Amino acid sequence: MKKNLSLILILLAVLAACNSGKKTNPNADEITVAAYYFPNYHTGDPRNVKQKGEGWSEWELVKTAIPRFPGHHQPNVPLWGYTDEKDPKVMEQKIDAAASNGIDCFIFDWYMYEDGPFLNRCIDEGFLKAENCDSIKFALMWANHDWVDIHPYTRGAEQKLLYPGKVSPERFEEIGDFVIKEYFSKPNYWKIDGKPYFSVYDVQKFVEGFGSLEATKTAMEVLNKKAEKAGLKGVHWNLVAWGNPILPVENAPADTPALIKALGFNSATSYVWIHHTELPETQTDYNWVRDRYFEHWEKAKTDYGVSYFPNVTMGWDATPRCDLKSEWANVGYPFMNTIGNNTPENFQKALQMTKDILLADPNGPRILNINCWNEWTEGSYLEPDTIHGMKYLEAVREVFPRNK
């Protein structure tokens, strides 16, 4: 299988080169690069204050992380310091670094529950009030999964549900009105064919709130019409598809292609490589995980029946979310195996391979996303650290140079 995959990738790269002079449109080689952004690195969120106390952010877990097995590097130390992302000046630094290194868009993990928002100060007070906000696009990935108390998690303890991901039909209508007014209408909100990109993380929780596929589809169509009434061309509905549950509350859908078809999603994507493969070793080799994901990608392109936007993952190490008093073992999130050998060079190679495969299909999508701008407690981040500096961001720029 590994040998066959390598041959396929070589052939696709050759096809990309052959097609370079046969563009079906003037932007055929322009690929949009989006990076997921996890907004739990600011103080003062009301829910965090209630649960963790004043002054807490997920930086506290980054600071106290320790090595869990031989050859394990922790803690990872941010080169820019433990900054507060709700500060527009802090966000300006992030935007500058992203825009000058090939990142076109931040896809914010966006939390909105039945009883209100969570972690919204990052985007509302930091990003949208940054003076250079317009130099990068932004979009929402509605992270509508159950939020359980795992920051940190004590091995063997009950995983307490804090905020249920399911919302009622009435609440979703309010959410739809809110996103159109506050986000979709912004000039730098990311749009595909004139439609604002809106991604749903947990399709099963989404459907559960409405009680049926038919009612869910109707609600999606209502939001489309509201967006059109607001002067947009509707909504680009994107599904985050996954088959290998990670979080303790996740359950993989039985038939993702059927859900995509029934609900009318416009595209699908992935959040992280390990949603599609196990990690058999304590430090599973990065290139091995990449190849398993590419196998999934090849199937998804045909099975899903809609445009599929591939993901490139920088790494995986959830050990900072493990309670320091608990012995580490591979027993389930966050006590789970990691990805090793995720050097900037290997990351750059994965980006280049992804680019080549996209360009090999003259009629295929020109979009990919990266996990993640700042998943520090899951070991997947582009922000500079004290070991590699800016090398991961520079890898993006090398593969996706921008003339800006």
Q: Which two tokens stand for residue 378?
A: 């899951």
CATH number for the domain that contains residue 382: 3.20.20.80
Asked if residue 234 is part of any domain, the answer here is yes
Annotate 232-285 with DSSP letters as a single string: S---EEEEE--SS--STT----S-HHHHHHHHT-SEEE-S-GGGSS---STEEE
Asked if residue 10 is part of any domain, the answer here is no
CA 162 from chain centre, in angstroms, equals 22
Asked if residue 270 is part of any domain, the answer here is yes
The reported pTM is 0.93
Rounded distance between C-alpha atoms, residue 338 and residue 317, angstroms = 5
Do 371 and 380 contact (CB within 8 A), yes or no? yes
3-class DSSP assignment, residue 216: helix
Rounded distance between C-alpha atoms, residue 119 and residue 122, angstroms = 7
How many domains does the chain divide into?
Answer: 1
Q: Which two tokens stand for residue 174?
A: 């309010």
Asked if residue 6 is part of any domain, the answer here is no
Question: Tens-of-pLDDT digits for all 404 residues of the chain?
Answer: 444 544 444 344 434 433 333 333 334 579 999 999 999 999 999 999 999 999 999 999 999 999 999 999 999 999 999 999 999 999 999 999 999 999 999 999 999 999 999 999 999 999 999 999 999 999 999 999 999 999 999 999 988 999 999 999 999 999 999 999 999 999 999 999 999 999 999 999 999 999 999 999 999 999 999 999 999 999 999 999 998 878 777 788 889 999 999 999 999 999 999 999 999 999 999 999 999 999 999 999 999 999 999 999 999 999 999 999 999 999 999 999 999 999 999 999 999 999 999 999 999 999 999 999 999 999 999 999 999 999 999 999 999 998 64
Nearest to 310 by CA among 379, 240, 245, 257: 240
Asked if residue 5 is part of any domain, the answer here is no
Asked if residue 94 is part of any domain, the answer here is yes
Asked if residue 2 is part of any domain, the answer here is no
Do 268 and 328 contact (CB within 8 A), yes or no? no
Expressed as residue numbers, the domain containing 66 is 31-399
Asked if residue 245 is part of any domain, the answer here is yes
CB atoms within 10 A of CB 339: 25
Helices (H), 120-212: 121, 169-179, 203-210
CB atoms within 10 A of CB 53: 9
